[in-house]
């Protein structure tokens, strides 16, 4: 029982990341009809926003403290981050400590700008082209973005810690009446899950309860008619692209403490997230979210020792096996709509 619960929890944070990226992919596909292979790169750029902010906040100057000496006998140099000098040591330290959550604020405008630039600069020209061309050009873009990040940040993963307040783990088992330390779960992952749920809820209610969202949904159903009603649907779709980029971006920001960002993390996630989108059903937002969590949890269940001894190596391939089975039995995926990407 407790192992099952533990695996369920472990699956949640990965599932959240899958769900967030898949949500963005589906938003783009549903609105603009574009298969975006560069979406993983957007996730990665988000993660590097967190890295950048934490580096910026850690910029420091050196002062020489004449009273202390280091082990060589020279006067000791003390590094003081600028923020600590400007805002006082307490507040400055808190700023540095909370750099990852702060990076969300920092990243949203950046990601929206990146999204706009991508849509207006490149993808706009590919609406009338076949899906294969869209896949290919965004695949090229993903390579380019990846190489640019590699140039600026190097090839090694950069660890970006969560705030100290969330360093520990939460003893879930004790709360539910199991033995203490049976089910422990890092706070940050819990927060990630909560955050993902919040973002997903926000996107859905934005689409469901605002006029803007209504128009966008109408445009997804029938773009031409909405256009004929005198609504500039293209501009709204561009905004949705920016929104999708922001969703993937903040997903990346918050994931930075869980997985140290490196330049190829985007590609690693992208392949899985495409599988997620297809399993959920191309063009279905709830399907993408459901499939994201489902596959995340299945992945963590299959890495249990009991399962692994039964079916060796299953943890490595479970996602693909599920994808193949679902695509063959339910050709449109879990919640796919009729007429999307069909013959």
Residues in touch with other proteins (CB under 8 A): 35, 122, 125, 129-133, 135-137, 139-144, 146-148, 151, 267, 271, 274-275, 278, 282, 312-313, 316-317, 320-321, 323-324, 327-328, 331, 341-343
User: Closer CB to other proteins, residue 68 or residue 131?
Assistant: 131
In angstroms, what is the minimal distance from the CB of 257 to other proteins?
Answer: 26
User: Closer CB to other proteins, residue 107 or residue 138?
Assistant: 138
Number of neighbouring beta carbons within 10 Å of residue 122: 14
In angstroms, what is the minimal distance from the CB of 193 to other proteins?
Answer: 26
What is the DSSP pairing of strand 75-81 with strand 60-69? antiparallel
In angstroms, what is the minimal distance from the CB of 62 to other proteins?
Answer: 28
Give CA 140 to chain center in angstroms. 20
In angstroms, what is the minimal distance from the CB of 3 to other proteins?
Answer: 21
User: Closer CB to other proteins, residue 143 or residue 184?
Assistant: 143
User: Closer CB to other proteins, residue 241 or residue 263?
Assistant: 263
User: Closer CB to other proteins, residue 79 or residue 131?
Assistant: 131
User: Closer CB to other proteins, residue 243 or residue 272?
Assistant: 272
In angstroms, what is the minimal distance from the CB of 21 to other proteins?
Answer: 15
Give CA 281 to chain center in angstroms. 19
In angstroms, what is the minimal distance from the CB of 199 to other proteins?
Answer: 25
């Amino acid at each position: 029982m407790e192992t099952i619960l533990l695996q369920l929890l472990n699956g949640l944070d990965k599932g959240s990341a899958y769900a967030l990226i898949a949500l963005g992919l589906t938003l783009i596909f549903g609105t603009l009809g574009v298969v975006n292979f560069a979406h993983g790169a957007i996730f990665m750029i988000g993660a590097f926003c967190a890295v950048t902010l934490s580096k910026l906040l850690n910029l420091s100057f050196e002062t020489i403290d004449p009273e202390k000496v280091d082990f060589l006998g020279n006067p000791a140099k003390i590094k003081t981050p600028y923020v600590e000098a400007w805002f006082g040591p307490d507040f400055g330290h808190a700023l540095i400590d909370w750099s990852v959550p702060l990076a969300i604020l920092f990243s949203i405008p950046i990601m929206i700008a990146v999204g706009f630039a991508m849509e207006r600069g490149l993808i706009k020209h590919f609406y009338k082209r076949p899906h294969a061309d869209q896949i290919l050009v965004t695949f090229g873009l993903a390579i380019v973005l990846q190489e640019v990040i590699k140039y600026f940040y190097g090839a090694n993963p950069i660890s970006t810690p969560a705030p100290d307040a969330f360093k520990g783990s939460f003893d879930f088992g004790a709360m539910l009446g199991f033995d203490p330390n049976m089910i422990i779960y890092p706070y940050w992952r819990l927060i990630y899950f909560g955050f993902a749920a919040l973002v997903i809820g926000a996107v859905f209610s934005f689409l469901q309860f605002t006029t803007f969202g209504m128009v966008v949904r109408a445009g997804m159903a029938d773009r031409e008619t909405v256009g004929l009603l005198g609504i500039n649907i293209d501009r709204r779709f561009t905004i949705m692209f920016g929104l999708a980029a922001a969703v993937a971006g903040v997903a990346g920001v918050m994931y930075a403490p869980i997985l140290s960002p490196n330049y190829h993390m985007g590609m690693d996630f992208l392949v899985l997230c495409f599988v997620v989108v297809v399993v959920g059903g191309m063009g279905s937002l709830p399907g993408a979210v459901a499939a994201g969590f489902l596959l995340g949890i299945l992945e963590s269940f299959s890495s249990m020792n009991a399962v692994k001894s039964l079916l060796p190596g299953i943890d490595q391939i479970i996602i693909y096996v599920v994808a193949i089975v679902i695509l063959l039995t339910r050709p449109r995926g879990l919640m796919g709509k009729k007429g999307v990407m069909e013959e």
